[in-house]
A and B are shown apart, each in its own frame.
Chain A
Amino acid sequence: MKSQEMIQGVYVHTPFCLQKCLYCDFPSYAGCSADVRERYVRALCREIRQGRADGWYGALPVAPDATIYFGGGTPTVLTTDQLGRVVAALREAGWWNRPAEATVEANPGTVDASSLRALRELGFTRVSLGVQSLQDRELRAIGRIHTAAEAKEAVALAKAAGFERVSIDLMYGLPGQTLDSYGKTLEEAAALGLRHVSAYSLILEEGTPLERLVASGRVTLPDEDTVYAMYEATDRFWTARGLRRYEISNYAAPGQESRHNQVYWRYEPYAAFGAAACGFDGRRRRTNPAGVADYLAAVEAGLPAGAGPRTPGTPAVGAGNIPAGGAAAAAQGSPWWDEEDLDVATRLEEALFMGLRMVQGVSLEELGTRFGVDIRSLYKEEMANLIHRGMLYLDGDRMALTPYGMRYGNEAFEAFIRLWD
């Protein structure tokens, strides 16, 4: 059976954080009570159990080695017991078999030796730590709850707990960050002996507190030349230390690449559970309600989450301090609740712009067969133009961005998107 005819990954979302970071526009909420978190876990388990039966992913078998990814928010805001119940539900319902990789995201400020050991015992094989920077001043400037020392300690504790695969996230272009301070962060990160690092350029997202701070002039970001120097430095630094770039913002020692994230970039089917979670069956994509209250209401009403649109503005169940993200999400233009039936052209375009994020690019043969088109002739002009400009190259069956092409990746991605008006 072809890889795109099976669920290759399972994502579970935890929309809670102890504190919201200033740059974050993800569906995650700070300040929820223990009671809400418990209700959320119950709803999540229920959605997971119904998930195999509700028919949405029904036709697709779960690959035996389908990856698991617990993301957020901060999954480790949940107790070990709660996480254990979610894992148990996944196992019972057949989502979690012999995963090639089971990752849990963690905030260095929310883990200790025993919680990490417990996660390992639950079956997680990989930890992804949101470190962002190893300079305390920079961490404070973006509203992180942990210090650089705690971050380093978390890496050590994760290793000690038996995690062979520990990854950290880093960010560059942060308020107050300089090329020097970023260089220090890289050096100190390298000293942790990591074999996987994600390094993201800070994106000033609309509606975030950081955006307002920058707009009002109270916070200054490094200039574009500096950010570009950091982008270059990242690549040089990790390459020199044996971590190869395998995606625009991801570096890994050979064999240490994130299996789960490659499911996305290869445009393979994945299941997703929890508020705001977004699943893909290879043809359709559906997104759960982003607000905790809306999500709870949907699941507690016995509906399989994602079973159908709710009217925006429907009173949230059990008001209290449960965030109803729906209205806010709708106001931001993100879907309140969405199911997209993707036509072939759209899927092909998405498969291309996701696939070209990877250094190895895409297989023209494989994508061509999958979507029943001849990519070389369909995109003849676009490909010739990008190749001529040194942004794209063909290597036998593979089409990939050059390092220069990655730098201006959006231009290349856009070339493969057709505008229909």
Chain B
Amino acid sequence: MQQDHIRNFSIIAHIDHGKSTLADRLIEKTGTLQKREMAEQILDSMDLERERGITIKDQAVRAFYQASDGQQYMLNFIDTPGHVDFNYEVSRALAACEGALLVIDASQGIEAQTLANTYLALDNDLEIIPVINKIDLPSADPDKVKKEIEDVLGIDASEAVLCSAKTGEGVGDILEAIVQRVPAPQGDAAKPLKALVFDSKFDSYKGVLLYLRLYDGSVKKGMKIRMVSTGTEYEVTEVGIFKPNPENVEVLTAGEVGFLAASIKTVGEARVGDTVTDANRPCDEALPGYRKATPMVFCGLYPVENTDYDNLRDALEKLQLNDAALLFEPETSTALGFGFRCGFLGLLHMDVIKERLEREFKLDLITTAPNVVYQLHKTNGDIALVDNPSAFPDQTTIASVDEPFVRATIIVPKEYVGSVMELSQEKRGEYENMTYLDEDRVMIHYALPLSEIIFDYFDRLKSCSRGYASLDYELAGYRESDLVKVDILLNGDPVDALSAIVHRSNAQVQGRKLVERLRSLIPRQQFQIPVQAAIGNKVIAREDVAALRKDVLAKCYGGDISRKRKLLEKQKAGKKRMKQVGTVELPQEAFMAILSMDKK
């Protein structure tokens, strides 16, 4: 197809503003799938995505649309994740497009990630088409949203499209707007192949599938390609497009979006952001590519059964094939044995990986509480990065500690400003500024320690604003903080996997809460168990788990055997899920206790 009949665009939005539902309607309206083939949120193909109602991976679809000018257009659109953890997926998708549909909920208006995603789209010089969604809701107020678009985003809202992805109203207008307003790609099919890898996916039969946006040239089966950054070469075994299921095509040419397979064994060989070119006729320069996504949150993952260690490693390797942002390396804990220290983009990313390991690989895991990466300045002048509290050296060897800060954007109705500020102050935040979005809503900026964000900031922000506040943040460098390591001792023995890094001013309170929480989590055993929190040698809090006085079935006669047996099996299975640490049996939740201290 002629390039001037191709439109490449993304859909960006704050979470829950109806992005995936709109994608469904576009697929349906263009006849890409028959109605009977549609499942809800068709592009969220992982079970986890459908269940949680979130999009985790980018998805690319090609559709054909007969526009009102009588011509047929090829639409390539990419559905993107809305959560801040997956911002890097969004930025990758945007680099492959010329336009973006900015979906905004007609009753909620602009939220923190609307803003963040708009900036990403502007950075990529995309034509932005504001789409005001959910106009069927009684609380919809499109005029107010239009004003916000102009005042806050600085985008002309006169041509914003009103729609309801739910009812289908306005979807036709969106398609027309795409055709009329998104610029056609400007590549040259005659030039040497130049294509951007904007995502990749591991397929156990075909090897790695590269998701491509072609800028110049064309690619077809049998062609020899080269990855520009590594110089490695492959022979193309398949090229295809997504409709949204993969479908082979003869050739992909400049301006188009699709995939290729070339018996590439690992995602590492063909990095996302790399440029693909013709090995026999290479292009003269690489595309800009992406900055590498850096994990910001770390935790230990340990198999409950030590014998599952190899299975866990295999599973992590498989997930990493599709997820370049996932880091892991082996680590050992005296309490938990052999496991891995894993790095994630954020808490949601961590949850998703953990759940996939448990669900898809049937692994029983213990997760330690997440933490950030600290920068230690030692007294001998060395600088060390520490991503594990138990690896924190002796306090006397540390001159100072820096921790990562973020710049947080919070959008909230004005009546909650007080409580949001109170919370942010408590979380060691530094107020930066505040602007009114309209007469009701306010945007506040704070510098906050990332560790507080991953601790419980978001949950508490939601609860102190009755769910109205939205949050987005970006990393904003390291700052010095007065941090100490709090150790937990069970029955006098330190449990490395329970150590936490906290601000000195909070250490006493946190230590106390932590031992209280642990006391309530640790099942009583045949002896009393002292639970202590300590900084260095100084015990700052202690609670005792009282001994269990007796535990025996009072009666068991002939008619009871099956039932009593099941009871014993159930008890035993419960204990099996616990981890023996020294003489104490610890339930898995104990290792996440620091995150649940205020829950009783």
Contacts and interface: CB of A to CB of B under 8 A. Distances in A.
A261 interface: yes
Interface in A320-349: 334-335, 338, 340, 349
B561 interface: yes
Interface stretch (A108-116, A137-145, A360-368, A410-418): A410-418
A41 interface: no
A68 interface: no
B554 A203 contact: yes
**Size range of the interface on B?**
20 to 34
Interface stretch (A87-95, A160-168, A212-220, A272-280): A272-280
B554 A200 contact: yes
Nearest to B526: A408
**Size range of the interface on A?**
35 or more
Interface in B308-332: none
Interface in B524-569: 526, 548-559, 561-565, 568-569
B393 to A, nearest CB: 37
Contacts of A228: 549-550
Contacts of B549: 224-225, 227-228, 231, 407
A419 B559 contact: no
Contacts of B555: 198, 200, 248-249
Nearest to B576: A419
A407 B552 contact: yes
Interface in B502-527: 526
Given A350-B565, A413-B568, A11 B558 contact: yes
B572 interface: yes
Nearest to B563: A334
B561 A354 contact: yes
B190 interface: no
A66 interface: no
A278 B554 contact: no
Given A227-B549, A410-B552, A419-B576, A264 B565 contact: no
Contacts of B526: 408, 411
Given A350-B565, A410-B571, A278 B550 contact: no
Given A203-B554, A228-B549, A353 B575 contact: no
Nearest to A405: B552
A261 B559 CA distance: 11
A261 B565 contact: no
A278 B558 contact: yes
A13 B409 CA distance: 71
B254 to A, nearest CB: 55
Contacts of B554: 200-203, 248-249
Contacts of A421: 573
Interface string B460-472: 0000000000000
Contacts of A272: 558-559
B558 A417 contact: no
Nearest to A11: B558
Most buried by B among A13, A225, A407: A407
B551 A409 contact: yes
A263 interface: yes
A417 B557 contact: no
Contacts of A225: 549
Interface in B248-294: none
Most buried by B among A200, A280, A353, A413: A413
A407 B550 contact: yes
Contact of A354 (B552, B556, B571, B576): B556
Contacts of B564: 353
Nearest to A26: B559
Most buried by B among A203, A224, A334, A421: A224
Contacts of A414: 568-569, 571-572, 575
Contact of B559 (A278, A357, A407): A278
Contacts of A45: none
Interface string A276-311: 111110000101000000000000000000000000
A417 B565 contact: yes
Interface string A243-272: 000001100000000000101100000101
Given A264-B558, A272-B558, A417 B552 contact: no
Interface of B: 526, 548-559, 561-565, 568-569, 571-573, 575-576
Interface of A: 9, 11, 13, 198, 200-203, 224-225, 227-228, 231, 248-249, 261, 263-264, 270, 272, 276-280, 285, 287, 334-335, 338, 340, 349-350, 353-354, 357, 406-411, 413-414, 417, 419, 421
27 contacts: A9-B558, A11-B558, A198-B555, A203-B554, A224-B549, A225-B549, A248-B552, A249-B555, A264-B561, A270-B558, A272-B558, A272-B559, A279-B558, A287-B562, A338-B562, A350-B565, A353-B564, A353-B568, A354-B556, A357-B556, A406-B552, A408-B550, A409-B552, A410-B551, A410-B552, A413-B553, A417-B572
Closest 7 CB pairs of A and B: A409-B552, A228-B549, A278-B559, A414-B572, A264-B558, A200-B554, A201-B554
Given A414-B575, A419-B569, 15 more contacts: A11-B558, A227-B549, A227-B550, A249-B554, A249-B555, A264-B557, A272-B559, A276-B559, A334-B563, A354-B561, A410-B551, A410-B552, A410-B553, A411-B551, A417-B569
